[in-house]
Amino acid sequence: MEDVASVGSAVTGSDDPPAPETGGHATRQRPGSRVDPAAEKAALAAIQRDQRDEALKILMTAYGAAITAFALRVVRDPEAAKDIHQQVFLEVFQGIGKFEGRSSLWGWLCGIAYHRCLDELRRGRRAGIADDIDVWDMLAAPSDSMVDADRVAKRRALEDCLGKLPVALRTQLLMRYFFGLSHSEIGQMVRENHSTVQVRISRILPILRNCLRGKGVLR
């Protein structure tokens, strides 16, 4: 499972104002998209054959880990994140036959995950940093078990700083740099103008940098 390296790269970048978007596409290089073209094609073919089970299996294999990781970083509760994962793919299974193709399947999943996370937070579960879990340990891939101590410390610091952000800000930042969505796509999900989202995210990054400097991670 991937970590927050994409967020970290954004945090260590410059404080220059964001470049404007035109037609939903950023003029500067956009965070790497998580769209899996092969999985999208295979799932769409399964949908056309009315094989919902097969389509769901493909999507869960391609995107399940990322959906769970996103949910965990938003709600900060591993059991709630697992519940959200199940809710997302149940909703996908129930509605996949009505998918109209206005976005990628990945974008559709992201929107569902976003709203299910909000539902979870509205039910009153904790949205702050949980004292009894270590987010890094929950997210580290087996292949990362021997990662050097400096990298571990930086990731822990970034997770901690992300956890200090208000939920709405953290969620939109993660949708941009973890999900790889455009400002326009995020704006559609949160029902705000893409320029508002763009400016907000550009203002979050210096806050994260200051937090990381306070932890000795950045100079």
CA separation for the pair 136, 116 (Å, rounded): 23
Number of domains into which the chain is organized: 1
Q: Is residue 146 part of a domain?
A: yes
Q: Is residue 22 part of a domain?
A: no
What is the value of pTM for the model shown?
0.70
Q: List residues bridging with 25 in a β-sheet.
A: 22
Q: Is residue 2 part of a domain?
A: no
Q: What is the dihedral of CA 206, 199, 178, 121, to 10 degrees?
A: 100
Sign of CA dihedral 169, 173, 174, 180: positive
Question: In which domain, by residue range, is 140 found?
Answer: 32-214
Q: Is residue 114 part of a domain?
A: yes
pLDDT of residue 168: 85
Q: Is residue 19 part of a domain?
A: no
pLDDT of residue 133: 36
Map tokens 């979870």 to a residue. Answer: 120
pLDDT of residue 92: 95
- Contact yes or no for 179/66 (Cβ under 8 A): yes
- Going from the C-alpha of 113 to that of each of 21, 51, 110, 168, 171, the distances in angstroms are 24, 23, 5, 14, 11
pLDDT of residue 11: 61
Neighbour-count burial for 68-83, b at 16+ CB within 10 Å, e otherwise? bbbbbbbbbbbebbeb
Q: Is residue 3 part of a domain?
A: no
Q: Is residue 25 part of a domain?
A: no
Block mean pLDDT (10 aa), the chain, length 219: 56 48 43 86 94 95 94 89 95 89 90 92 58 38 55 82 87 88 90 91 88 82
Q: Among candidates 82, 86, 92, 83, which has minimal Cα distance to 55?
A: 92
Residue 133, SS3 per DSSP:
coil
The pairs formed by 194-202 with CB atoms below 8 angstroms and a separation of 24 or more are 194/21, 194/24, 195/20, 195/21, 197/172, 198/18, 198/20, 198/21, 199/18, 200/169, 200/172, 201/18, 201/172, 201/173, 201/176, 202/17, 202/18
Q: Is residue 68 part of a domain?
A: yes
What size, in residues, is the chain? Answer: 219
